[in-house]
Amino acid sequence: MIDIKLIREDPDRYIEAARVKLIDADIPALLEVDAALRDARRQLQDARTAQNAAGKRIAGLTGDEKAAAIAEMQDLKAKVKRLGEAIDDLEPKLNELMLLAAQPAAAELLQRRLRIISRRYWSRA
């Protein structure tokens, strides 16, 4: 499988590779799903960090402050669950799109292929 970082750096190269190889790969959709997945993972990490900080803070609180912190913890728990589900939905989509991405051919291979096709074409004429 192709490294997603390479596709992010030069998407036009992979769009062209799919076109040349007649592969129906939707690179813009792949990049959208990748961006959404990276964003969801970042938000999940932030929520878990906040959840850990709130958990430590609750131990030293009493009364209304503790109740408010527990309510905040419940909100964070729901957010973590929601983000986890979003990630679980996005990962298979990204994997499916990645499998369709075409590896760009080296320039010398394309030139060789063109020479072979050209010879075949002109030998028939």
For the chain, the structural domain boundaries read 4-124
Q: What is the mean pLDDT of residues 30-59?
A: 93
CA distance 115 to 50: 61
Secondary structure of 8-52 in the HEC alphabet? Answer: HHCHHHHHHHHHHCCCCCCHHHHHHHHHHHHHHHHHHHHHHHHHH
> pLDDT tens for residues 71-103?
889 999 999 999 999 999 999 999 999 999 988
pLDDT of residue 5: 93
User: Is residue 105 pLDDT above 90, yes or no?
Assistant: no
> Residues in the chain, how many?
125
Instruction: Give the rounded distance of the alpha carbon of 111 from its chain centre.
Output: 33
Nearest to 51 by CA among 83, 28, 24: 83
pTM of the model: 0.75
Q: Which amino acid is at 76?
A: L
What's the CATH fold of domain 4-124?
Helix Hairpins (1.10.287)
